[in-house]
Amino acid sequence: MNQMSFSVLNSQFLMLFNQLKHKRQYIVLFGFSIATILVISLLLASTNVNAEKLQSSSKHITSIQIEKGDTLWSIASQYITDDYKDMNEYIKEIKQTNGLSSDTIHEGRFLVIPYYAQGE
């Protein structure tokens, strides 16, 4: 190969390389532009947020008289709130509050019932 043909090949290679380099730059620039548009659109997208005023709940107690047919479960189901994990936890607290060691309750006696109330 002579000097002339090497020079021609070299210049053609450089032109091809520059064209590919520019195409890569355009592809990168295009990808960056799309990513930027997506990020901006996500930031500007309208979202519907409803803020509700949080009310604090406080624990109260009431005294009830046990009636015929009442059970700890039936009484607890009347007073339980979402502040308790589950019914068993609530019944356990009622028993502790009243010093009960079993689930047996008797008609005519009184129970102290803890409960939560909103904003009182």
Per-residue pLDDT tens over the stretch 73-106 = 999 999 998 888 999 999 999 999 999 999 999 9
Domain 57-118's class?
alpha beta
The pLDDT, as a whole number, for residue 82 is 87
pLDDT for 65 equals: 96
Which residues in 76-110 are b (16+ Cβ under 10 Å) and which e?
beebbeeebeeeeebbebbbeeeeeeeeebeeeee
Domain ranges within the chain, ordered by starting residue:
1-51, 57-118
H or E segment to which residue 12 belongs:
helix 3-44
* 20-79 tens-digit pLDDT: 666 666 666 566 667 777 777 777 776 666 655 556 778 899 999 999 999 999 999 999
- C-alpha closest to that of 103 among 95, 114, 115, 112: 95
